[in-house]
Structure 1
Amino acid sequence: MTSLDQARAVRPGESLDARKISTYLMANLPDMVGPATVRQFHSGFSNLTYLIGMGDTELVLRRPPFGRKAKTAHDMGREYRLLSALKPVFPFVPEPLAYCEDPAVMDVPFYVMERMRGVILRKEPPESLVLGASEAGRLCRRWVDVLGDLHGLDYRGCGLADLGNPDGYVARQVHGWSKRYRDARTDDVPDFEKVMAWLSAGMPPDFAKPALVHNDYKFDNVILDPADLTRIIGVLDWEMATIGDPIMDLGASLGYWVEPDDSDELKLIRTLPTLCPGMLSRRQIVALYEKKSGSVIENFAWYYCFGLFRLAVIAQQIYYRFYHGQTTDKRFGMLGFAVGILEKTAVRVMETGEF
């Protein structure tokens, strides 16, 4: 088994027209030689990601998913513009190369970027990868450093002041994600009303210093140097990035973070390798972030609960597509089960104040 992220055959129902892509790339990028080959990265649950081969050159193509889409999600033009603005000041983003919204090429807008080669950690590290306890701890510290560096960027200086509105950000997030859940709810999942009411009643004020937030920063969205697994060389999946509260960004990240003392149910649905020996706890991550940012975080249990709820909404929006037969991806069938576990976990956080 290789430790490098690999593309595979395209899933049924998610194929692209290689001839049209080849013609477009040869017309818009220098030194491209066709015909194009198309393979797919099967990880991820939202936007679809493909490996495009053009002679000896490998590119990555991103497009929205097939089927029902959230109204404001999957904006390829916004994501492409963000990468273009960030690349000069934040070296962890892949270089964007071309953006296309011509329906003659594809039925939806898409963009193409460089392929960044490296290791992406998922639920279980591959057997060929040795990540010792000391390395795992150093990786966690570097993970916090990169997030802190992102939050410390001068987003106005790099032309991203209009990416989002930080005023009223917390309230918009709580009410917006609540509406998304209600809109996507199916009959076989919890109603989450108790959690949504608790989040709404306990909303903290907007953070005094808004920041560029990634909104999906986690281990399987970062690329590691194969020669040094404690070194992050890339950050992927910027579709939900905006200007807002950096502590909510941290809460969203730790919504994915499963640790040894968590319930067996929560461990069943984990997607990241945070149970590996040496990985830091959520409390240790928060303490490191406070030190990195110079912030004192009050009531992080609220932010963590919101992170769990937000993750449940994302899972439910995807499960909705499976439930209504809009996707054939069998992975999506278990997401309704995951939503129920996340609801139980969120209620426990509400009742105990622990994270």
Structure 2
Amino acid sequence: MVEIGFTPTVRRQYPEGVALRSELASQALDWPTIERYLAGHRLQMDPGVAPRQLSGGLANLNFLVRINHNWMVLRRPPAGPLPPGANDMQREHRILFRLWRTFALAPRSHHFCSDAAIAGAPFLLIDYRAGLSLRGDSIQPLPATENTGHQLSNMLVETLAQLHAVDLASVGLEALGHPQGFFRRNTLGWIKRAQLIANGSLSCPAQTLAQWLTDVPDPAAGKPVLLHNDFKLDNILIDPQTLQPRAIVDWDMGTQGDALFDLATLLSYWSEPDDPSCMHRLAQMPTLQPGFANREAVANTYSALTGRGLEDLKPYRVLTMFKLAVVFQQLHRRHLLGETKDPRYADFGQLAEDLFEFTLTIANDKIL
């Protein structure tokens, strides 16, 4: 493998405000091979501009590159075995190759490469969008005021409602995914993932939840919508002045299905002051900061904006919380297998088990 920085000529200034990893901390890719491949598709990497890995994120690798005099992002999955259906670059390309035409918050995808020999895994090239990404539970560099929290709460719900209003047929995505039987298929899929990680021996809370999800009646099927499938604050790039969205990123799990799944996914990341410690340790969004609405208010606002009822929200709440716990189990497994040296991953196993416990509380009607 060849280290980043293969063109040591004049360096172009990177976009202002972009968060980059140091060259030493960036994942090494075979950039000369990538450059030759792209040139064969009329995608010329600008000389003297060293690709750099963007900071943040726990899974997919994102590199800022300059191609045909435009800033783009090369995205590929992480190293090691991938869970079924996850980190799907081809799916992301299919969505973003079309969606940008009518949904302004979708960056355009320019190219998909299925040949893993080029960059170590399939990859795609999408437009770079400048914007502030608020990662974790910190609101910096924004002021931690009531107004900031209120604006961000409203922005999240309004943006989700706008996404779910997209006419799939108008962008050629009416055949995306399999919306029929969406809840049951996802339930069985995530239970299977949990069993695979646990080698068939689920913890007691996880087993109880798996049985609950197996027994609960399927929610009533509404009109399918375009789902992001991981809708949360750090997957939205925002204008730091207006706090309005500039782009929604990370579409590798996008599909078509029940809108309540995306709403429940957002709520699964939404911590409240009275939550158990696992939801504080989760630290996925800064909703504990002043001014943020609570989960009930978020759900009610979404219902008011879209006209969708919330009668069937609970099964999706349990499913998406179960899914979240399994995801952290998957990340912890990467730590155990030595596929990542990120110290954060070491505690994800216990976090996952605590999230299963909290999800039992939701299943027992004690909390939204």
For 1:81 and 1:293, the matched residues in 2 are separated by 26
TM (norm. structure 1) is 0.91
Which fold has the larger relative contact order, with Cα–Cα distance below 8 Å and residues 6 or more apart in sequence? 1
Cα pair distance change 1:10/1:78, threshold 3 Å:
farther
Q: 175, 190, 209: which one pairs with 1:195?
A: 209
SS of aligned partner of 2:28: coil
Q: 329, 343, 352: which one pairs with 1:339?
A: 352
Q: 84, 95, 98: which one pairs with 2:97?
A: 84
Between the aligned residues of both structures, percent identity stands at 31
Q: 216, 221, 224: which one pairs with 2:230?
A: 216
Would you say 1:71 and 2:63 are equivalent positions? no
Cα pair distance change 1:49/1:186, threshold 3 Å:
farther
The C-alpha deviation readout for 1:114-171, integer Å capped at 9, x for no partner, is 1111111122436432253123212211211111111121112211122111111110
Cα pair distance change 1:324/1:246, threshold 3 Å:
same
Q: Contact 1:170 / 1:203 at 8 angstroms: preserved in 2?
A: no
Cα pair distance change 1:127/1:351, threshold 3 Å:
closer
Structure 1 window deviating more from structure 2 (294-303 vs 53-62): it is: 53-62
For 2:81 and 2:117, the matched residues in 1 are separated by 21
Q: 12, 17, 21: which one pairs with 2:30?
A: 17
SS of aligned partner of 1:137: helix
Tell me what 2:191 maps to: 178
Structure 1 window deviating more from structure 2 (73-82 vs 96-105): it is: 96-105
Map of 1:47-196 to 2, 5 A cutoff?
47-53=60-66, 57-125=70-138, 127-185=140-198, 190=203, 192-196=206-210
For 1:103 and 1:302, the matched residues in 2 are separated by 38
For 2:68 and 2:172, the matched residues in 1 are separated by 35
For 2:317 and 2:242, the matched residues in 1 are separated by 30
Q: Contact 1:259 / 1:275 at 8 angstroms: preserved in 2?
A: yes
Q: How many residues end up aligned between the 2 structures?
A: 352
Cα pair distance change 1:255/1:103, threshold 3 Å:
closer
Tell me what 2:293 maps to: 280
Structure 1 window deviating more from structure 2 (22-31 vs 112-121): it is: 22-31
> Shift in Å at residue 49 of structure 1?
1.3
Tell me what 1:28 maps to: 41
Map of 1:255-266 to 2, 5 A cutoff?
255-266=268-279
Q: Contact 2:157 / 2:302 at 8 angstroms: preserved in 1?
A: yes
Cα pair distance change 1:161/1:37, threshold 3 Å:
same
Q: Contact 1:174 / 1:200 at 8 angstroms: preserved in 2?
A: yes
Q: Give the superposed CA RMSD.
A: 2.4
